[in-house]
Amino acid sequence: MAQLFTYIVHKGGLVDDTAAELALAAQKIGSGASVTAIVTGTGADLDAVCQQASKFYSQIWKFDHADLAYPNAEAIRKLLVQLLPSDGIFLLPHDTFGMDLGPGLAVKLKSAYTADIIGIDAVEEGNLKIVRQEFAGMAYTHVSVDISDGVVLTFRPGSFQSEGQGAVNGQIVDKSSEIGELNVNRRFIEIVEAETGDVDITKADVLVSIGRGIEDQDNVEVAEELAEAMGAVVACSRPIVDAKWLEKSRQVGTSGQTVKPKVYMALGISGSFQHMGGIKGSPFIVAVNKNAKAPIFQVADVGIVEDMLEFMPELTEKIESA
C-alpha cells in the first residue's frame, strides 16, 4: 500500500472538523496503515494545531514558515510537490481550499484526481472504487480510480463522521528545514469579512428559507408575508443572492451563514450539500418542493410535493385565520 497523507485545514489555531473526517477516510483506504498529516502555518497557532491533529494521526509533519502563514494553495502546492512520493495517496477536504489546491496538485504529481467523494466502496490493489454525486445531488455514481501512479482525493466535508476517535497521540515531526523555494505568482492580500445585514438569521428560531423555486423577485414578498404570519425570519439559498433578490447576509450555506434554528422551512430549495452544510443543531426541517426527486427530501423531517408559489399564500392564510 502506498503511503497515505492528509492536509489539515485550520483557522485561528483550531483544526477544522475535516481533520478527523480525513483520518477516518484514510484509515478506510489504508485499512489501518499509518497516516501522515501535513500541517502548514507558522508560530504558536501552528503548534496548537499540530497538538490537536496528533489526536487523530500517528504522524504529523509540521511545516513552519512565514510564507505559509496564510494557506496559499500555490505555495502549498510547491511544498507538496517537493515532498510527496510519486505514488502517494493524498487526501484533502472538498472545501474552498481543497478545490483550489487539488486539481493542479494532481497534475503536477502526475497522479489521478477525484473530487467531492462521499463514500469509499472498495479498495483493491492499485484501484479505488468510490461514491460521489452528480447533477446537483440528484444522481449517485460509483467511480473507479486507478491509483497506481498516486492519487489526490478530495472528500465532501461531513461525509465521514465517527465518534470515539481522537486518542492516537501521534508523533509531531518538525520538517520545516525541508521547505524549499515557495515563490508565488498569486499573492494573498487580505480577507474581507462578510457584511452584516439588517437581520441576523443565525439568531432566529424559525427560518422561512427560499430557493430557486421562488422564480421571480416579486414573489419574495409572498415569503415575507408567510414569515411574518409564522413569526419567522426569511433566509435563502445561494441563487437568490446571486440574483440580488436578497442580501448575502440572508444566505444559508457553507459560503453564507451557519444557522441553528428550531424549525427550518426550505421552500423551493433543492438541498445541495453546500446549503445543508450551513444548517446545524438538527432543526425540524420542512421541505416544500415541486420536484419529488429533490435531494432536500432525503434530509428533511417532513416533505411536501407542491409548488411553493401556490403553497405559501395558502399556508399564510391558514395561519392567519387560526
Partner 1 sequence: MEILVCVKRVPDTAENEIEINSDGTDIDRDDLVYSVNEWDNYAVEEAIQIRDKVGGTVTVVTVGDDESEEVLRREMAMGADKGILLSDGAFEGSDGFGIASILKAAAGKGNYDLILTGAQADDGAAQIGGMLAAMLDRPYASLVNSIEVVDDKTMKIGREIEGGNQEMSEIQMPCVLSIQTGINEPRYVGIRGIRKVASVDIPVHGAADLAVDASAAGSAGAKVKRLDYFVPELGEGAEMLEGGMEEKIDKLVELLKAKGGLK
258 binds partner 1 (CB under 8 A): yes
Residue with Cβ nearer partner 1 (167 or 189): 189
Question: Residue 36 or residue 72: which is nearer to partner 1 going by CB?
Answer: 72
* Nearest distance in Å: CB 54, partner 1: 24
For partner 1, the closer of residues 113 and 170 by Cβ is: 113
208 CB-near residues (< 8 Å, 6+ apart):
223, 226, 227, 230, 232, 233, 234, 235, 265, 267
Shortest Cβ distance from residue 172 to partner 1 (Å)? 26
Site for partner 1 in 282-301 (CB under 8 A): 284-287, 291-293, 297-301
Question: Alpha-carbon distance 91 to 87, whole Å?
Answer: 13
Contact status: 14 vs partner 1 (CB under 8 A): no
CA-nearest of 39, 38, 37, 33 to 2 is 33
> Which residues between 185 and 224 bind partner 1 (CB under 8 A)?
185-194, 205-206, 212
Q: How far apart are CA 75 and CA 126, in angstroms?
A: 29
Beta carbon nearer to partner 1, 177 or 244? 244
310 near partner 1, judged by CB under 8 A: yes
Tell me the closest approach of the beta carbon of residue 174 to partner 1, in angstroms.
Answer: 28
Q: Does 38 bind partner 1 (CB under 8 A)?
A: no
Q: Which amino acid is at 290?
A: K
For residues 106-122, b (16+ Cβ closer than 10 Å) or e, as one string? beebebbbbbbbbbbee
245 binds partner 1 (CB under 8 A): no
The residue behind cell 449517485 is 140
36 interacts with partner 1 by CB under 8 A: no
**In this chain, which stretch among 22-30, 42-50, 66-74, 217-225 interacts with partner 1, using CB under 8 A?**
66-74
